[in-house]
Amino acid sequence: MSEAYSARSAGGSGGERAAAWLSFMAAPAFATMALITAHPGGGMAPLCMGVEHGPLVSGMVPMYLMMGAFHSGPWLRMIARWRS
């Protein structure tokens, strides 16, 4: 993410700035998707009445949480830079 910060501060191209903002939006988007899916009635239930509510440790919720953790790097680097 340091490249994105330097591109923004140096007036980098629009594509570099868009990539920097998109990298910050991935983790919150996946966290939101996990919350919506974990909510009773969330996920596929409104679309398919035959879906049974299984345990939250299987299915899409852990996948969204793992994807959010995988994409949290830009946030962690920004917090580390802010604290130092």
Question: How far is residue 58 from each of residues 1, 2, 37, 63, 84, measured CA to CA in Å?
Answer: 32, 36, 12, 9, 39
Could you report the per-residue pLDDT of 59-74, keeping only the tens digit for each?
A: 788 888 889 999 999 9
d(CA 21, CA 15) in angstroms, rounded, equals 10
The residue among 60 and 46 whose pLDDT is bigger is 60
Token pair in block for residue 60: 């899409």
d(CA 71, CA 51) in angstroms, rounded, equals 29
The pTM (predicted TM-score) of the whole model is: 0.60
d(CA 41, CA 80) in angstroms, rounded, equals 38
